[in-house]
Structure 1
Amino acid sequence: MPGKFEVHMDKPQEFRFTLKTATGEVIAMSEVFDSREACERSIEAVRKHAPYAKLVESGAAVG
Structure 2
Amino acid sequence: MIALRRSDIDLNTRIVRAREQLIELDGGGMVLAPTGSQAGKRTVSTPSAIVPALVGRRRP
Q: TM-score, normalised by structure 1?
A: 0.30
Larger RCO (CA within 8 A; separation ≥ 6):
2
Structure whose residues are more often helix by fraction = 1
Normalising by structure 2, what TM-score? Answer: 0.31
